[in-house]
Amino acid sequence: MPTENIKRNGASRSWRDNLIDIEPYVAGEQKRSPRLVKLNTNESPFPPSPLVSKAIEGFDAEILARYPDPNAKGLVRTIAGREGLPEEMVFVGNGSDEVIAFAFKAFFNSGLPVLFPDLTYSFYPVWCRLHGIPYEQVPLNSDFRIGQEGYARGNGGIVIPNPNAPTGIAEGAEFFGRLLRANTDSVVIVDEAYYGFGAETILPLTRKYDNLFVARTLSKAGSLAGLRLGMGFGSPPLIAALNAVKDSFNSYTVGSFTQCAGAAALSDQAYYDDAAAKIIGTRERFTAAMRGLGFSVLDSSANFVFVTHPQLGAMELYEWLKARDILVRWFASPAKASSHLRITIGLDSEMDALLAAIEEYMQGKEI
Ligand code: PMP
């Protein structure tokens, strides 16, 4: 737009009127205290692979004087090799939040509403508002599962986490195959942030459906939430569009240090399989114990569980636990979430401490 027009149109407005007016995503609290039992943001209770420590110790700080490889070619090659996909089908970013935010910008430009569940990752509506993308939220079925029916209509794109968050419920490849066969005119994003805890991956379907994009992260099963490394997989035109968005925003999204430590983590699958097996074991024990206390617990394929109790107020229990240095996640909205708590699976000892606290709370209420 010519400068003259900008001046004329903006003449009577204060700079304050020109600031963005957006309701942002609210991240889970990152309280630090040695006594804290932190079960609110779905991090892994285990440290990263020892190979990550080794890579960090051997990292030459002199490298940081130069910009990183903007396309993280070495890391992309490692990831592509691991997944048996060509490099043109792999994208990396500063956490999967960034990868998905770029994907919304790159893929959802039809003007039609993007569809996602009405109970899901609450960053999706924020990215839509940030990018000016219309959206509609499709109600989950009464059993908290995702139905196909609500997505069988014209749309500007579909976004589904698998497993879904905060329910933890996963659908199989057959479900997504059916969804993709019915939806060929827009891009389908499947957010596999919680892959690695028992859900089936649909990554192989990226070879078959060139409108499928799968996002992953090292923040959960990879024990590297602090490193900020996310990745995405899709057909070459999808990855080219993502790279065009990245290079219109910030060419150097993944630092040299992250590229080095991330590659080390990706070379130690055995370590992470072992950690995931422990988390799954703890999840199943914790689920059974909570059901024993009268909680309803959805069947989770993630590293968290979504729970509710017919006689207990979720917010009150959340506050009571927080006052005792046990942090879980309570969502004030949407209404169907506010009666539940989302609890990250931590160490056995942390889950035992939580169970003991919940029992004490229930005794106080004479339940
Ligand atoms: N998708 C979902 C469903 C998530 O819960 C999260 C973590 N809050 C992310 C993506 C983003 O994770 P990260 O940016 O740490 O990769």
Ligand 1 centroid to 294 CA: how many Å? 30
d(CA 333, CA 339): 9
Q: Is domain 37-47+270-364 classified as CATH 3.40.190.10?
A: no
- Is the separation of the CB atoms in 186 and 211 below 8 Å? yes
Cβ(120) to ligand 1 under 6 A? Answer: no
Cβ(211) to ligand 1 under 6 A? Answer: no
Query: b/e string for 228-237 if b means 16 or more Cβ within 10 A?
Result: bbbbbbbbee
d(CA 100, CA 162): 14
Cβ(337) to ligand 1 under 6 A? Answer: no
Say whether 278 sits in a helix, a strand or coil.
helix
Cβ(44) to ligand 1 under 6 A? Answer: no
| 80-127: pLDDT as tens digits | 999 999 999 999 999 999 999 999 999 999 999 999 999 999 999 999
Question: In the CATH hierarchy, which top-level class contains the domain 50-267?
Answer: alpha beta
Say yes or no: do domains 37-47+270-364 and 50-267 share a fold: no
Ligand 1 centroid to 218 CA: how many Å? 9
| 143-161: pLDDT as tens digits | 999 999 999 999 999 999 9
| 250-282: pLDDT as tens digits | 999 999 999 999 999 999 999 999 999 999 999
Quick check: pTM over 0.85? yes
Over residues 174-181, mean pLDDT: 97
**Looking at ligand 1, which atom is closest to the CA of residue 94?**
14
| 158-172: pLDDT as tens digits | 999 999 999 999 999
Cβ(279) to ligand 1 under 6 A? Answer: no
What are the helix (H) ranges across the chain? Answer: 3-10, 50-57, 73-83, 95-107, 123-131, 173-182, 236-246, 256-266, 269-292, 314-323, 348-364
5 — pLDDT class (breaks 50, 70, 90):
very low
Ligand 1 pocket mutation pick from 26, 40, 121, 167 by most atoms within 8 angstroms of CB: 121
Q: How far is CA 358 from CA 14, 166, 329, 354, in A?
A: 52, 20, 15, 6
For the record, the structure tokens of 268 come out as 């130690």
Residue 3 confidence (pLDDT) above 60: no
Structural domain boundaries in the chain = 37-47+270-364, 50-267
**Looking at ligand 1, which atom is closest to the CA of residue 98?**
14
Residue nearest to atom 6 of ligand 1 (CA): 193
User: For the residues of 2-63, what is the DSSP string, one character each?
Assistant: -HHHHHHHHTT--GGGGS-------PPP----TT-EE-SS---SSPPPHHHHHHHHT--GGG
Cβ(219) to ligand 1 under 6 A? Answer: yes
d(CA 260, CA 74): 9
**Looking at ligand 1, which atom is closest to the CA of residue 41?**
8
Ligand 1 centroid to 15 CA: how many Å? 34
Residue 186 confidence (pLDDT) above 50: yes
Cβ(230) to ligand 1 under 6 A? Answer: yes
